[in-house]
A = this chain, B = another copy of it.
Amino acid sequence: MTSPALQIALAYHRAWTGKDLEAAMAFIADDIVLDAPAGRLTGIQAYRQFLGPFAEQFLIRAEMIAGFGDDSTALLMYDTETIPAKSAPAAEYLTVRDGKIVYNRFIFDRLPFEEFQRRQAGDGVR
């Protein structure tokens, strides 16, 4: 585990899954590009608005499944237990430059979250 990018990725992951959003954001570059399921977001403020609600409102706990990396990139897969879904796994492919994450390709299944929102809105009540 000598990949510098993986070290950064794991520190970022530990911070936000530990609900320390400020510590996590310290690893994010100002001009980060995030390719998320709903589309591309750019800039650290958009990133915070993407990650913050998930980390602070929905997340119960996270468990790492696998992490690999090389000099400049890291690939993580982990499971999360959340309020909307007992198991909501995700994968992140991160590019690191000068100790900061400059790109993230983020994959997760939006379906349980959409179903949760529908239930909250009362549309899905049976």
Contacts and interface: CB of A to CB of B under 8 A. Distances in A.
A125 B84 CA distance: 27
Contacts of A65: 93, 105
Given A37-B111, A68-B69, A111-B114, A105 B93 contact: no
Interface in A46-78: 65-66, 68-70, 73, 75, 77
Interface string A105-117: 1011111001000
Interface residues of A, number: 20
| A interface majority secondary structure | strand
B93 A66 contact: yes
Nearest to A113: B111
Given A68-B68, A109-B111, A110-B110, 18 more contacts: A37-B111, A65-B93, A66-B73, A66-B75, A68-B69, A75-B75, A75-B91, A77-B105, A77-B107, A89-B107, A90-B107, A91-B91, A107-B107, A107-B108, A107-B109, A108-B109, A109-B109, A111-B114
